[in-house]
């Protein structure tokens, strides 16, 4: 069952030298119980595109397109409907966990407040639910954690608390923006197991933003690759990572350290750097860095079109597939 359908999402943000297009026509859909992965280099618009869904962009942002959830367009919800939607239908774990935690309020207070705003629960019920949530994210000694403050936790624990807060109102969709970046591998594995359990047991849909293709392959069902504010390729994770068809996806995968690589052997870095939103090249934004580029690549922006039952590709040259 499709929970969320994003159609032609476009975002322009104000800057000192005028509005700049950051997200440039993005379409995708997220199914119940699915982990929908989003990857791509820094600055490709991953965070801005999800902040847009929650109407959390800076003042002056222009957003176009539609984001259909439960028959309504999230992009045009008024303040009341928006407040009800946030947390209860769709919740977000921010890229920086400290953003979502108030430094001066105890963990318990922050959790119970979320529960009470949305569920109209009594103080006792809210506390029980808060402890339950801390157990759910495997915080040791939840009673004690309830009375602690964010600074008393390690980065990994804070990330779990941020996830607990996001889960407080039993959302149907969780947006997790780099939830495991900067955490050590065991903590990372714990958080991924938690997300995996929630999607299996509760049918939670997760939009998982990560630049870590290892994390992606371990948990995502489907991956969309962002480049310069657009999706350039998407498909089932295993297929996409083992048989990438967009030259950019291939380059990203080639840039990964392989476990079997000899010590001291070099990564294949992607030549050049991604364009800034203000200086996006004409045509396919990847063409200046693409080993397969032809003259035609400079002429028009390739659309994302189906190339098989389950895969979409925005490269009419398609030099790598199908195979």
Ligand X SMILES: Nc1ncnc2c1ncn2[C@@H]1O[C@H](COP(=O)(O)OP(=O)(O)OP(=O)(O)O)[C@@H](O)[C@H]1O
Q: Is 237 in the site for Mg ion (CB under 5 A)?
A: no
Binding mask 15-54 for Mg ion (x = CB under 5 A): --------------------------------x-------
Burial 164-189 (b: 16+ CB within 10 A, else e): bbbbbbbbbbbbbbbbbbebeeebbe
Which residues in 274-303 contact ligand X (CB under 6 A)? 276-277
Nearest-CA neighbor of 173 among 70, 102, 99, 98?
70
**What is the C-alpha to C-alpha distance for residues 48 and 13, in angstroms, rounded to an integer?**
9
Nearest-CA neighbor of 165 among 155, 174, 156, 152?
174
CB of 61 to ligand X, least distance (A): 8
Nearest-CA neighbor of 95 among 9, 207, 257?
207
Binding mask 172-211 for ligand X (x = CB under 6 A): ---------------------------------------x
CB of 104 to ligand X, least distance (A): 26
**What is the C-alpha to C-alpha distance for residues 191 and 185, in angstroms, rounded to an integer?**
10
Residue 165 — φ and ψ, nearest 5°? -65, -45
Q: Is 159 in the site for ligand X (CB under 6 A)?
A: no
Which residues in 173-212 contact Mg ion (CB under 5 A)? none
> 28, 34 in Cβ contact below 8 A?
no
Which residues in 103-142 contact ligand X (CB under 6 A)? none
Q: Is 97 in the site for ligand X (CB under 6 A)?
A: no
User: Considering only residues 10, 13, 117, 132, which one is a binding residue for ligand X as defined by CB under 6 A?
Assistant: 13
Q: Which does 66 bind (CB under 5 to 8 A by kind): Mg ion, ligand X, none?
A: none
| Residues contributing to the site for ligand X (CB under 6 A) | 13, 15, 22, 40, 42-48, 58, 95, 211, 276-277
């Amino acid at each position: 069952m499709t929970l969320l359908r994003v159609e032609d999402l476009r975002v322009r943000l104000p800057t000192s030298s005028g509005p700049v297009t950051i997200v440039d026509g993005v379409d995708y859909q997220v199914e119940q119980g699915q982990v929908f992965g989003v990857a791509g280099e820094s600055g490709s618009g991953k965070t801005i595109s999800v902040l847009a869904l929650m109407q959390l962009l800076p003042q002056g942002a222009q957003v176009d397109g539609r984001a259909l959830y439960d028959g309504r367009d999230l992009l045009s919800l008024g303040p009341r409907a928006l407040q009800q939607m946030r947390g209860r239908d769709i919740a977000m774990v921010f890229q920086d966990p400290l953003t979502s935690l108030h430094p001066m309020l105890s963990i318990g207070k922050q959790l119970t407040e979320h529960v009470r705003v949305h569920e109209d629960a009594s103080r006792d019920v809210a506390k029980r639910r808060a402890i339950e949530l801390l157990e759910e994210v495997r915080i040791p000694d939840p009673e004690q954690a309830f009375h602690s403050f964010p600074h008393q936790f390690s980065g990994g624990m804070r990330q779990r608390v941020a996830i607990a807060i996001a889960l407080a109102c039993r959302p149907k969709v969780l947006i997790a923006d780099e939830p495991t970046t900067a955490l050590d591998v065991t903590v990372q594995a714990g958080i991924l197991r938690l997300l995996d359990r929630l999607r299996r047991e509760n049918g939670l849909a997760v939009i998982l933003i990560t630049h870590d293709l290892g994390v992606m392959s371990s948990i995502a069902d489907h991956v969309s690759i962002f480049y310069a504010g657009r999706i350039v390729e998407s498909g089932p994770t295993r297929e996409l990572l083992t048989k990438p068809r967009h030259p950019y996806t291939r380059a990203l995968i080639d840039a990964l350290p392989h476990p079997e690589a000899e010590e001291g052997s070099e990564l294949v870095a992607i030549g050049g750097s991604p364009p800034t939103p203000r200086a996006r090249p004409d045509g396919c934004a990847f063409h200046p860095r693409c080993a397969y580029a032809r003259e035609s690549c400079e002429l028009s922006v390739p659309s994302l079109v189906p190339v098989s039952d389950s895969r979409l590709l925005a490269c009419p040259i398609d030099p790598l597939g199908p195979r």
